[in-house]
């Protein structure tokens, strides 16, 4: 079974530029998560989708971050404009449903903002 796919794997941009990340979850997984992991810290949830609806975006900096999952399958996360402190690994995870305990993570996108 294919795992969670993410692209690009690496991205380097200058501050104030825009960037977008893509995630394709495991087939059939209804719940999709985006996490931000800053070096030396654990992953922090940015947004959680159940199918194509947002369940929790309380920690998403909405002035610059946006995410969508229009058809309830793949998802994009956008940052516009980027700041230096956005340098991090952006992890996408999926699970069959909200009540399922295990989340399956993709390899992440490593973003460097110069």
Residues that bind other proteins (CB under 8 A): 33, 40-45, 48, 55-56, 91, 98-99, 101-103, 105-108
Which of residues 20 and 45 has its CB atom nearest to other proteins in the complex? 45
Which of residues 17 and 104 has its CB atom nearest to other proteins in the complex? 104
- Supply the minimum distance, in Å, between the C-beta of residue 11 and other proteins: 15
CA nearest to 92, candidates 35, 26, 9, 50: 35
- Supply the minimum distance, in Å, between the C-beta of residue 93 and other proteins: 8
- Supply the minimum distance, in Å, between the C-beta of residue 40 and other proteins: 7
Residue pair 23/91 in contact by the 8 Å Cβ criterion: no
Which of residues 24 and 48 has its CB atom nearest to other proteins in the complex? 48
């Amino acid at each position: 079974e294919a795992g969670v796919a993410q692209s690009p794997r690496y991205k380097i941009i200058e501050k104030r530029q825009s960037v977008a990340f893509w995630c394709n979850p495991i087939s059939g997984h209804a719940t999709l998560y985006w996490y931000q992991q800053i070096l030396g810290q654990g992953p922090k949830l940015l947004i959680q989708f159940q199918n194509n609806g947002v369940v929790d975006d309380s920690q998403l900096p909405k002035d610059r971050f946006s995410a969508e999952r229009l058809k309830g399958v793949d998802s994009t996360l956008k940052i516009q404009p980027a700041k230096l402190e956005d340098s991090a690994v952006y992890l996408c995870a999926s699970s069959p449903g909200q009540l399922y305990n295990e989340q399956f993570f993709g390899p992440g996108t490593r973003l460097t903002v110069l």
